[in-house]
Structure 1
C-alpha cells in the first residue's frame, strides 16, 4: 500500500440501519465518522458490549453527522474506554447531543436498576453500558463547527459539513484525504419535509458512502395531515387515547406541527395533547435557538409547538395513565425501545378503544417492529403485555429519503463518484439500492461487509 493511501473500515451500519461507525486511517491518524449504538435485535445490541476493534485511545478525532443515538450514542462508552480527542459536529448537533446522550445514560441506568429489582436479567448485578455521568463527560469533547466551514483533522485531513435535512443539525460530511474526497451522506432527509429544507446537493467526490434505510421502497404519496386526522377522529369518537411513540428529536415536533394545524382548521376535535418526554420538550425549544436552519419562524415555533402540555415529572407521567380519553400522548422512544412510552403502552394497550400510532421507521428486533408486524403481545418489564388497542403504522411520516428521492438526489450530481458504498440499511434495502445505482446511473456500487476495510 502506498504511504499516502487511506482506508475506511466499516465498523457498523452494514446489514443494519444502526451502529453507524466508519474508521478512516489516513496520514498516520485515525478518524471515526459517527459513533453510534447498535439497536434492535439482541445479536446487534450485544455488539455494543464487545471491545472496540481498535484501542479507543488510538482514535485521534470523531466526526458526527447528527445526534441520533444510532450515530452518536456509543460516544460515552468510547470516552470511558480511553478516547481523548475532539468530536466535531454542527452547532445544533452539539445542542441535541446535550439532551440525547445524558438521557440515554439515565435510561440505561434505570433499565439496569429495574432489571436488578425484578430479577429478569441473566446477570446477577446488571450494569448499564454507560451512565449519565459518562455521557456528560463525553459532551466535553464536542467541538461545534458551522455548516460550509472547513476544519482541520489530524493526519493532514480536512472536513466540512453541508446540510442533510433529516433532523435539526444533521449534516453530510466531506473528508479531504490528500487529493482524495470521501463523502458520507449521513442520514438524508426528504425534499418536502415540513420542518427542514432538503439535503444539499451531492458535491464532487471520489468515494461516496450512502445510506439506504428505505433503499427498497417508496414512501406513499399521501397527505400526512390527512392520514393522522383520520386516525385521531376515529379514536376521539370512541373516547379513546391515542398513544404516539415518537423520536424525541424531529418526529415529536413534526407531529405537534400537524396536530396544531389540524386543530386550527377544525379537521380534528380539540382535545388534550400531552408531550410526555422531557427531552422532546427541550429539543422543541432548540428550534427557537436555531431559527434559520428549519422552515419555521420564531412565532410559528411558539404557535405550533405550544398546543401540547409538557409532562415534566415522573409523578405526572404516572398520573397520566389514570386519565381517560379522548386525549393524545406523544412520548419517546419512537421504536418502543425504552422510555416513558412503555408505561403508557402498559396502561392503555389493553383497551380496544385506544390506539397506538407508529410514526416512523421501526428497526427489526424492536417492540415497534413487532407491533407493526401484527404481534399482539409485547414483552416489557419482565412480563407479557397484551395488545388489544388498534395499531396503526402512519405511512407518510419519515425523516429519511426513500429510494426514489435518494436516486433523484444522486442523479443531480455534476460528477459521478468512482465508487459508492451502500450502508445503513437492512440487507434487502441496501442491496436493492445498490442494484438501482448500478443499473440506472451506471455507477460502481456495492454493499460492504461488517468490519471490511477498503482503500480509498
Structure 2
C-alpha cells in the first residue's frame, strides 16, 4: 500500500528529498538544494521527478539549505499544501529562504554583468517572491506532540540537536483496512555534549522503517579543544599581520564560532574590535537563537548573555555590501566570519578571492566540506580554485578545526540507534557519501540491525 522513493542525498550529503506514498496520499520529507560540483548543481535546475501540485504536504526536518532550499521552486511549480516544521525552525527557514532567493537573483545579475554564464540571459533558480510564497505555506508544530496532519497520517517531531529546531520525525500512516506503518526519519543527527543546543533525542518507538543519515558513518571525530585551536590559529596569523577567514554556515556554525570567540574576548585573548561578522543572515539567525531560550543547553543558560556581542555591537557587523567590500581594503589583521560554510556562494567567496593569494592569511574550515565544493578543494590541498570564472592561487594557510561538526560521527550514530527501544524491520542509509554509508551499514549490522539498503537516486521501495 505504501512506497518510498529517494530523490536526493543518495551517495552525497546535499539535496535531501524523500517521497512517501500511502494509498492516494503523497508526502515529501525535505526538499533540499544540491551543493557541490557542477553536476550536482545542475540537479537543482532539473524538473522534479514528481508533480508538485499532487503533493499533500511537505514535512521539513530542519532549516539548512540542503534540506529546505528548493521549497521556493516547489511552490513556484504548483505546490500549495502545508509545509510542516518545528516552531524554532520557522524563524530560521524564513531567513534562509529569503536570503537564498536574494542570492539567486544576485548571482544571475553578476553572471550577466561578468559574462561567465553559458547562457546569454541567465535567470535565477527562483526569486525572493517565490521564497515568500513558499513561506506562506509553513505551519510550525511543537516538539514531542503527535499531530494528525492528513486523514490517517500522524507525525511527531523530536529534537535532533544539529541546529536550532532540527528534528527527527516519525510518520505513522493508517489505512482504511487497519494496516499501519511507521517511518522514522532521523534528519541530521547532532552531537552529544556540545555547546548551545540540547542533545539529540532517540524516539521511544520501534518504527517499521528507519531512514538514517550517514554523513560521518565512516569516521570518529577527534578529541579536541576547538576554542584553543582557533585561538592558536588567530595568534599565529595576526603575528604574520594576516587575516583569518572563516567560511561558516549562517545557521548554527556561525553561532558556535561566536560562542568561542566571545569566550576568547572575555578572557582577553583577542580584541573584539578585530572580529567581523560579514553575514546579515547570521546576525538575524543569532537573534533567533537568543530568543529560543527553551532550546538552550545548560551551558548556554548559565551564560545567557554569551551571544549578546551580536546585539551590543561588541563584534563588528557588515550589514551592507560596501561594508563587506571595505574589509578587503583593511590593512590591520582581522577575523572574518562569512557564509557560506562550503565556500560555494555568498560574501565569503569575495574574501577568499582577496585573501587566498596572501601567504600571511589563514582560512579556517569549520564544517563538513562536501565533495566538489570549493571548501573541499581547499581542504584537499588544491593549488588553485576557481572563483567567478578565474583561477585563484592558494598561498594562504588552510586549517580544519578537528572535531568541530554539527553531525554525529559513527559512534554517536550507533548511540542514537541504540537509544531506540527496538530495531526497525527495514533500514535505509542516505545523506552520506558511499564510503560512509557502507561503513555505517557494516557496524550497524554488527549491532544486530538488518542489512541496510543504500538507495540510489530515484530508487523506489514498496512498503
TM-score (norm 2): 0.95
The alignment partner of 1:89 has SS state of strand
For the Cα contact (< 8 Å) 1:418–1:444, is it kept in 2?
no
Q: Which residue of 2 aligns with 1:237?
A: 239
The alignment partner of 2:99 has SS state of helix
- In structure 1, C-alpha distance between the alignment counterparts of 2:272 and 2:42, rounded to whole Å: 44
Q: Which residue of 2 aligns with 1:446?
A: 453
Q: Which residue of 2 aligns with 1:324?
A: 331
- In structure 1, C-alpha distance between the alignment counterparts of 2:4 and 2:151, rounded to whole Å: 14
Q: Which residue of 2 aligns with 1:131?
A: 127
Note the C-alpha offset of 1:124. Answer: 1.0
Q: Mind listing any 5+ residue stretches in structure 2 that lack a counterpart?
A: 175-179
1:334 aligns with one of 335, 341, 349: 341
Which runs of structure 2 are paired with 1:73-88 in the superposition (5 Å)? Answer: 73-88=69-84
Q: Which moved more, 1:381-390 or 1:334-343?
A: 381-390
For the Cα contact (< 8 Å) 1:419–1:445, is it kept in 2?
yes
How many residues are treated as equivalent by the alignment?
452
The alignment partner of 2:307 has SS state of helix
Note the C-alpha offset of 1:152. Answer: 1.7
- In structure 2, C-alpha distance between the alignment counterparts of 1:262 and 1:84, rounded to whole Å: 47
The alignment partner of 1:88 has SS state of strand
Q: Which residue of 2 aligns with 1:301?
A: 307
For the Cα contact (< 8 Å) 1:274–1:310, is it kept in 2?
yes
Note the C-alpha offset of 1:262. Answer: 1.8
For the Cα contact (< 8 Å) 2:248–2:341, is it kept in 1?
yes
Q: Which moved more, 1:311-320 or 1:299-308?
A: 299-308
Deviation string for 1:314-358 (max 9, x for gaps)?
111111110023210000001011111111111222211111111
- In structure 1, C-alpha distance between the alignment counterparts of 2:203 and 2:214, rounded to whole Å: 15
Note the C-alpha offset of 1:303. Answer: 5.2
Q: Which moved more, 1:57-66 or 1:321-330?
A: 321-330
- In structure 1, C-alpha distance between the alignment counterparts of 2:451 and 2:426, rounded to whole Å: 5
Q: Which residue of 2 aligns with 1:279?
A: 281
Which runs of structure 2 are paired with 1:384-403 in the superposition (5 Å)? Answer: 384-403=391-410
Q: What is the RMSD computed on CA atoms of the aligned residues? A: 1.4
Q: Which residue of 2 aligns with 1:363?
A: 370
Note the C-alpha offset of 1:7. Answer: 1.2
Note the C-alpha offset of 1:266. Answer: 3.4
Q: Mind listing any 5+ residue stretches in structure 1 that lack a counterpart?
A: none
Q: Which residue of 2 aligns with 1:218?
A: 220
- In structure 2, C-alpha distance between the alignment counterparts of 1:92 and 1:231, rounded to whole Å: 34
The answer to whether the aligner puts 1:434 opposite 2:441 as a matched pair is: yes
The answer to whether the aligner puts 1:60 opposite 2:56 as a matched pair is: yes
- In structure 2, C-alpha distance between the alignment counterparts of 1:378 and 1:152, rounded to whole Å: 49
- In structure 1, C-alpha distance between the alignment counterparts of 2:311 and 2:222, rounded to whole Å: 26
2:252 aligns with one of 240, 250, 253: 250
The alignment partner of 1:83 has SS state of coil
TM-score (norm 1): 0.96
For the Cα contact (< 8 Å) 1:28–1:155, is it kept in 2?
no
Note the C-alpha offset of 1:238. Answer: 1.4
Q: Which moved more, 1:19-28 or 1:197-206?
A: 197-206
Note the C-alpha offset of 1:190. Answer: 0.1
Note the C-alpha offset of 1:282. Answer: 0.2
Deviation string for 1:132-158 (max 9, x for gaps)?
111111110000111112222335211
Note the C-alpha offset of 1:455. Answer: 2.3
For the Cα contact (< 8 Å) 2:15–2:66, is it kept in 1?
yes
Note the C-alpha offset of 1:397. Answer: 1.4
Note the C-alpha offset of 1:231. Answer: 0.8
